[in-house]
Amino acid sequence: MSGYPKVIGYLRVSTQDQDLEKNKAEILAFANERKLGPVEWLEEKVSGVKTWRKREIAQVVESLRDGDWLIVPELSRLGRSTLDILDILAELRKKGVNVYAVKGDWTLNGTIESKVFLTMMALFSEIERDLISARTKEALKARQAAGLKLGRPKGPGKSRLDPYRLEIEALLKNGSRLNFIAARYNVTVPTLINWIKKNNIDKTSKP
């Protein structure tokens, strides 16, 4: 086995994920085509709103060395936000690790194309963050102008989200993404979606 790089097939799964075996087959097909050797698997279950450095993927990033490979079904599976994904990719490139995403046929390996791709991701991440921040501030100002109280009211509610209904409605109307709202109120996206449905709130945002 000596002489082969370390190859990790990373699968971030959820209970609704039906493509696990298909994803494994696609990762193996790429590894075999490149003659990379055996693939080690990490199947990480989606869990709350942890940053990537507190998840299992952090241990994988730490273990990989120059010339090793991380193969994923698609780049979006690496993290819950563009910023998270960009941070992981930057850390891997700093160590000389090759990254391949089956969807899009992306290989990030230090080439000019890779550097351009990462630069574009960084730009989109910054734009996304600025837009979310601006929309949130505008929404909260609008609620305050209407005389509505913001923040955490005293006393428990049926759901931890109940006290923030007005804020969440404002965020949704202003186009904030569900993963941003979920992270803001420390719940999972499925929990947020169920709460929105239960309360018959108009959901116009995307995950």
- Residues annotated as catalytic (active site), given as ranges: 14
**Alpha-carbon span 205 to 92, nearest angstrom:** 31
